Amino acid sequence: MIRNLATLSALLLFPLAAAAAPCPGNPQALGTERVLEVSAATTPRVGRKHFPATLPLGPKEIVLTFDDGPWPETTPAVLDALAKECVRASFFMLGMHAEKHPELARRILADGHTVAHHTYSHKILNRISIAAAEEEINQGFAEDDYAVYGQRRTAPATPFFRFPGFASSPALLDRLAQRGIVVFGADFWASDWDPMSPSQQFNLVMSRVEQFNRGILLFHDTKAQTAAMLPDFLRELKRRGYKIVHVVPAGARGLLR
Ligand SMILES: [Zn+2]
């Protein structure tokens, strides 16, 4: 009888354990559905806009990514919106911004997000020499990690990188793959580099979510229109049944709080 009860309670508990953790203060939160470990060994390049492969996502699963920060005028509002919904994202930071705003860079990590990399100063890397491009990439890794962890490393703590303007080259892609660094493109994006009102931004990105259904979505946490519409956007994702997947480096899942 005791064994049967134990089996029954295990069956009842399993769906709870598999669901997203509760969100303090917000029982209706969107939440983070699951954590996905990503490794260059299995997926060196992800994002169907530029590469043949993407992450293994199910229907209505979205990976949120934010480029070009940390930026004091807009990143705090983005982080507040994500925190309120217990949503975890990935921030592809610029080394020069992390260098200037290390407290904000550290908050991104402290809030449970993934600290990823986007060069030092946003140079378009396929227009400069390979040596100069590698220097720009490595300086970005070094300054991001110095701001966040207090250590400059050429092998970054999180080996995730996105090319500015998606401007990769075969030689640079090969070198990053040799170093075990995952290159993130995107499956779709918000086009938030184009000026528009927050409600126009909301409508545009929601239409793309519906069009693509799943994938890696690119925003910029440096854009006021994105920061302004993010709370409504996250609520709408919840209402329409979308789920958030948090990407982390291979082996990191067990270290998450
Ligand atoms: Zn960028």
Q: Could you tell me the distance, in angstroms and rounded to a whole number, from the CA of residue 123 to the centre of ligand 1?
A: 9
Query: Does residue 19 lie in a domain region?
Result: no
Query: Does residue 28 lie in a domain region?
Result: no
Q: Could you tell me the distance, in angstroms and rounded to a whole number, from the CA of residue 69 to the centre of ligand 1?
A: 9
pLDDT of residue 7: 45
Query: Does residue 247 lie in a domain region?
Result: yes
Write out the residues surrounding ion ligand 1, Cβ under 5 A.
Answer: 67-68, 164
**Range(s) of the domain holding residue 188:** 36-255
Query: Does residue 81 lie in a domain region?
Result: yes
Q: Could you tell me the distance, in angstroms and rounded to a whole number, from the CA of residue 85 to the centre of ligand 1?
A: 25
Q: Could you tell me the distance, in angstroms and rounded to a whole number, from the CA of residue 68 to the centre of ligand 1?
A: 5
Domain CATH for 130: 3.20.20.370
Query: Does residue 18 lie in a domain region?
Result: no
Amino acid identity at 144: D
Query: Does residue 4 lie in a domain region?
Result: no
Query: Does residue 1 lie in a domain region?
Result: no
Q: Give the number of domains in the chain.
A: 1
Predicted TM-score (pTM) of the model is 0.91
Q: Could you tell me the distance, in angstroms and rounded to a whole number, from the CA of residue 242 to the centre of ligand 1?
A: 26
Low-confidence residues in the chain, pLDDT < 50? 1-18, 257
Q: Could you tell me the distance, in angstroms and rounded to a whole number, from the CA of residue 21 to the centre of ligand 1?
A: 32
Q: Could you tell me the distance, in angstroms and rounded to a whole number, from the CA of residue 137 to the centre of ligand 1?
A: 13
pLDDT of residue 153: 80
Q: Could you tell me the distance, in angstroms and rounded to a whole number, from the CA of residue 115 to the centre of ligand 1?
A: 14
Q: Could you tell me the distance, in angstroms and rounded to a whole number, from the CA of residue 42 to the centre of ligand 1?
A: 25
Q: Could you tell me the distance, in angstroms and rounded to a whole number, from the CA of residue 250 to the centre of ligand 1?
A: 24
pLDDT of residue 256: 58
Neighbouring residues of 216: CB distance < 8 A, sequence distance ≥ 6: 46, 47, 54, 55, 63, 65, 184, 185, 186, 187, 188
Query: Does residue 15 lie in a domain region?
Result: no
